Amino acid sequence: MTDMKKIRFWWIFRRGKKKYLVPSTVCICGVGTIVLVAILNVFSAVTRSYEGPPHSILNTTRFVTGVRKMTSPRVRPTQVKRETSNVILDIDEGPEAAYMIHDLPDTDRHAQSGQIPETDTFYVDDYEKIDENAQKSHERGKLQKISKGAAKRLPKALIIGVRRCGTRALLTFLRVHPDIRAPGPEVHFFDKHYHKGLEWYRKQMPATLSSQLTIEKTPSYYVIKGVPEKVHRMAKHIKLIVVVRDPVSRAFSDYVQLASKHSDIRTFEELAFLNNATGLVDTSWSVLCNGVYSKSLVRWLQYFSLNQIHFVSGERLVADPAGEIAKVQDFLGLKRIITSKHLYFNKTRGFPCVKKHERHGKPRCVGVNGAKHYPTVTPRLVKRLRDFYRPFNKRFYEITGEDFGWDDHK
């Protein structure tokens, strides 16, 4: 007599490359099979937490066994494999997974038409937000995996400053390069988070292939004592990039930023002078002393050679961004991929912008889209500041071997 039982559990058996799906409770034929049923059911109870075979296996076994109807299994995320074109994404691969490098935006439609619709421009006050999102996408495995060799790596180059000299614009332009990757926000490792250790720092970096260069920008590094030594301890052969601009306009820009955060701030003039009558400058005010580039440079040169440091002129970054970026690519040992075809001058902003970013497909400008209000200052103050900076500028030109031309205008 044949006694049919309800099939509740399925087992997969491999034989060579083939997989077989076998019901845990089988057709019972006669008394002799009772022992087998008991064994199988005990086995089933032990493994009841198992949430079902992966889809891929189900598909195979469904075919092999000819079983058409199965309850849909709950699948563990780690087991899901999604196929995207001809590559496979492992969803739960962890941070070391490798992902697609974007194509260069060299077939920009605006570039071809020669017209940039400024209304279409993506103004990013916080470039970082975009990159954070991209990073999250990475973690969700939304970008194509291309290799197993990607990993988060410590930076091989740093943009160390100077604050308010065009560091964001520089990094925005450099991000166009497929061999450059940078973390989203400023990491502030060497000035604020040093106690967290190098492993923490490394984890802030995006995953890169060994052929790619990780670069980090924190403009406060340049002026903070102790940072050069810490950087040297991490990587004595690291490449350093310093953006500099006329220290007088840098100071005004710095002040405007401060004022945007502190509405009760005193006037520039009040803060700049220790004694307004004599015109004695307060060199302890960070807005002014951050522009004494030579002083900070001497500190860096105690640990790094001059040829490890590349200086970008903030003025040329605006007037001739492609020329300035070409030199940075050379310094970093990268192919000159970023050229004038990736950049355009945005008349509304008064600054060069990236024509199109590969991730969101819109032109990209740095900073707030609005008129800049520098502090109203007297010509006397400007002259006093110029007199103050002149000897330091001269020293800076001597050390770097380059005249940045800040003292040409009288």
Ligand X SMILES: Nc1ncnc2c1ncn2[C@@H]1O[C@H](COP(=O)(O)OS(=O)(=O)O)[C@@H](OP(=O)(O)O)[C@H]1O
Q: Does 352 bind ligand X (CB under 6 A)?
A: yes
175 is in an annotated binding site: no
Q: Which residues have a Cβ under 8 Å from the Cβ of 107 and sit 6 or more positions away?
A: none
CB of 223 to ligand X, least distance (A): 11
- Residues within window 227-286 making contact with ligand X, judged by CB under 6 A: 253, 256
Q: Which is nearer to ligand X, 64 or 368 (CB)?
A: 368
Among 24, 60, 167, 329, binds ligand X (CB under 6 A): 167
Which of these, 135, 165, 408, lies nearest to 293 by C-alpha position?
165
With CB under 6 A as the contact rule, which of the stretches 43-51, 87-95, 166-174, 399-407 interacts with ligand X? 166-174
Q: Count the alpha carbons within 13 Å of 126 in the hemisphere toward its beta carbon.
A: 9
380 is in an annotated binding site: no
Scanning the structure block, which residue is given the tokens 């332009």? 173
Q: Which is nearer to ligand X, 169 or 297 (CB)?
A: 169
Q: Which is nearer to ligand X, 267 or 276 (CB)?
A: 267
- Residues within window 175-234 making contact with ligand X, judged by CB under 6 A: 219
Among 105, 166, 184, 291, binds ligand X (CB under 6 A): 166
First to last CA, the chain: 112
Q: Count the alpha carbons within 13 Å of 146 in the hemisphere toward its beta carbon.
A: 10
Among 272, 366, 377, 381, binds ligand X (CB under 6 A): 366
Q: Which is nearer to ligand X, 101 or 251 (CB)?
A: 251
Among 367, 392, 394, 397, binds ligand X (CB under 6 A): 367
With CB under 6 A as the contact rule, which of the stretches 66-74, 167-175, 273-281, 355-363 interacts with ligand X? 167-175
* Binding map of ligand X across residues 125-164, x = CB under 6 A, - = no contact: --------------------------------------xx
CB 175 within 8 A of CB 64: no
Q: How many residues bind ligand X (CB under 6 A)?
A: 18
Q: Which is nearer to ligand X, 10 or 268 (CB)?
A: 268
Alpha-carbon span 352 to 343, nearest angstrom? 7
Q: How many CB atoms lie within 10 A of CB 137?
A: 13
- Beta pairing partners, 158: 216, 240
Among 18, 109, 372, 373, binds ligand X (CB under 6 A): 372
Q: Which is nearer to ligand X, 150 or 365 (CB)?
A: 365
Among 160, 165, 187, 223, binds ligand X (CB under 6 A): 165
Q: How far is CA 202 from the centre of its chain?
A: 12
Alpha-carbon span 318 to 306, nearest angstrom? 25
Q: Which is nearer to ligand X, 53 or 184 (CB)?
A: 184
CB of 172 to ligand X, least distance (A): 7
Which of these, 246, 228, 204, 195, lies nearest to 374 by C-alpha position?
246
Q: Which is nearer to ligand X, 169 or 207 (CB)?
A: 169
Q: Cβ-count burial of 6 within 10 angstroms (0-12 exposed, 13-18 middle, 19+ buried)?
A: exposed
* Binding map of ligand X across residues 52-91, x = CB under 6 A, - = no contact: ----------------------------------------
Q: Which is nearer to ligand X, 167 or 208 (CB)?
A: 167
Among 21, 223, 231, 317, binds ligand X (CB under 6 A): 317
Alpha-carbon span 237 to 157, nearest angstrom? 9
Here the contacts of 202-206 (C-beta below 8 Å, separation 24 or greater) are 202/152, 202/153, 202/154, 203/95, 203/152, 205/152, 205/153, 205/154, 205/155, 205/181, 206/131, 206/135, 206/138, 206/152, 206/181, 206/182
Residue ranges of the annotated binding site for 3'-phosphoadenylyl sulfate are: 245, 253
User: Which residue ranges make up the annotated binding site?
Assistant: 245, 253
Chain positions contacting ligand X, by CB under 6 A:
163-169, 219, 253, 256, 314, 317-318, 351-352, 366-367, 372
